[in-house]
Amino acid sequence: MGIAFIDLQAQRARISDKVDAAIARVLEHGRFIMGPEVTEFEEKMSAFSGARLSCGCGNGTDALALPLMAWGLRPGDAVFCPSFTFTATAEVVPWLGASPVFVDIEPDTYNMDPVSLEAAIEDTIKNGELRPKAVIAVDLFGQPANYPAIKALCDKHGLKLISDSAQGFGCTIDGKHPIEWADVVTTSFFPAKPLGCYGDGGAIQTNDQEMWDLLDSLRVHGKASQADMDAANYSGHEAKYLNPRIGMNSRLDTMQAAILLEKLAIFADEIALREKVARSYNSALEGSVAQVPFVKEGYQSVWAQYTIEVENRAEVQKKLGAQGIPTAVYYPIPMHEQAPYRRFPTAPDGLPVTEEKKHTVMSLPMHPYLDEETQGVIVEGVKAAV
């Protein structure tokens, strides 16, 4: 058997008895939609990250769309986001008729560059065709974006801030989670994520009770909140049959919440294990490849991926593949170069770092259960290939 890029079975072997029991409990009580495990997981997720409230939803893409819906995003609004990211980050903006404005990245972390962001905001204001509304910063590969700098720009220009932590839930800056700066933090529980379920799932975190009530309404077809019901004198009926706003159907499945509860219980330990694997990689590969991952002082990555830079990437991948060593290239075509997004604006100086890094980044196998022997094989393979 070849080397696994992400070894979900090793994790399952660790907690299979607990996961099986959790699934059995759901099968027994039969509350498959919005069952008690959903509420319990939301509470424990909040406790883990220091957020006041969490709102589970159907997937990480809906998690991005729901706050924008809650803020009334509309045509003519601008949302600033990186181009070097998965399509979902920008995709949700045109859903609502608004325009993404693409921003460049830092050359060492691959996260949103605050200098490029500021230039993009000021250029948008100067042009006057779009109204700056929000920023979506991405915790790429597991490392938090530069939230102190990005938040300062959002405050200066009156913008909402979303932390797209699909790859980075659990990451911190000086021990503080992104919710310290962001209006909302969104995440994905896609199976390959550091905290993943066995299907689709997502969540939004906020410190604002009114925002949570609105998100809760929007995720269930715009159902009435308690305040809506009181205002309409609507009593004696289910909230889902009074719909004061247009929403969507995006509920976290009870079965997935039950699984996530067991995974969350070991998540802190798995982050520590990922850190150990990453440090071992860095120690072994620094100087042998063009660049090993850089994590800022005081920043904690959850290492969703371990991404290096190499020259002649295609050749290196081919050599590693011949040895049974899997690799992945994330975002070979940045968003601003994809056909549906070419019509949207970019930062005034363009995205030169994004366009450079798309040629050189390459990710190696990374998961908490990567043993030293296997990692040694990968390291030696990389050194020989480059």
CA–CA separation, 71 and 59 (whole Å): 19
Q: Treating both helix axes as pointing N-terminal to C-terminal, what angle do 36-49 and 254-265 enclose, rounded to 10 degrees?
A: 40
The single residue of 151, 160, 193, 263 carrying the catalytic annotation is 193
Q: Residue 233 CB: number of other CB atoms within 10 A?
A: 6
Rg of the chain (C-alpha set) = 21
CA–CA separation, 225 and 149 (whole Å): 35
193 is catalytic: yes
The number of angstroms, rounded, from the C-alpha of 163 to the middle of its chain's C-alpha atoms is: 8
Reading the block at residue 209, the tokens are: 């009770």
- Using CB atoms within 10 Å of the CB of residue 360, give its burial: 0 to 12 exposed, 13 to 18 middle, 19+ buried: middle
Reading the block at residue 22, the tokens are: 């959790």
Reading the block at residue 363, the tokens are: 């990710």
- Judge contact between 18 and 27, C-beta under 8 A: no
Strands 361-364 and 299-300: unpaired
CA–CA separation, 154 and 279 (whole Å): 34
Catalytic residues: 193
